[in-house]
A and B are shown apart, each in its own frame.
Chain A
Amino acid sequence: DVKVTQSSRYLVKRTGEKVFLECVQDMDHENMFWYRQDPGLGLRLIYFSYDVKMKEKGDIPEGYSVSREKKERFSLILESASTNQTSMYLCASSEAAGQGVSDGYTFGSGTRLTVV
């Protein structure tokens, strides 16, 4: 069964810590995405990557960075965690544009991060 795996389901970190959220996909997808989900705001795109070592800012990149050293792995980094980054973080992957009919995204199970 193909899937997207996020390394942690729940995470509690202290303000100011550097936080790494890991995501691995086994579908050989070109695109990978990080979203945060907050009540009433839906899913907001933080960063995405369309190839190894390539990245693009989404709608809310401030306070975050990403790393994609291998095709299957996409990491989200909170450089200095703050309480307003407490949220549910969702990773997803998809085929590249133009590769035929797409089923949209495949999502990981999410990481619920609490910053205290």
Chain B
Amino acid sequence: AQSVAQPEDQVNVAEGNPLTVKCTYSVSGNPYLFWYVQYPNRGLQFLLKYITGDNLVKGSYGFEAEFNKSQTSFHLKKPSALVSDSALYFCAVRDLSGGYNKLIFGAGTRLAVHP
């Protein structure tokens, strides 16, 4: 069965420092991987995806993610964090079992960027 794990409940970063939010996955076949962000009392917003090709994927708001097949990881990164990046981040993997296009989400990681 497909699954994703986000090992950190919370990540704390100082503004201006680089940030990493970790995600590992377990899939059969080629993975389709996604990152979403959720601001308080809002729905989830798409950040970026990996389907195939370059292992470094660039997304919205200056975020990028690195796909590493050997480590089965898809960590979210940003070179310089902003206070406004503080939010809840979800990693997800596409699951096509049963012929349905579904996403399986990790538990989420809360990112807190301090001034």
Contacts and interface: CB of A to CB of B under 8 A. Distances in A.
Given A40-B107, A97-B101, A107 B45 contact: yes
B43 A109 contact: yes
Which range holds the interface residue count of chain B? 20 to 34
Interface string A30-57: 0101000000111101001010000010
Interface string A92-115: 101111000111111111101000
Interface of A: 4, 6, 9, 31, 33, 40-43, 45, 48, 50, 56, 90, 92, 94-97, 101-110, 112
Given A42-B108, A101-B51, A107 B43 contact: yes
B107 A103 contact: no
B41 interface: yes
A89 B44 CA distance: 11
Nearest to B44: A107
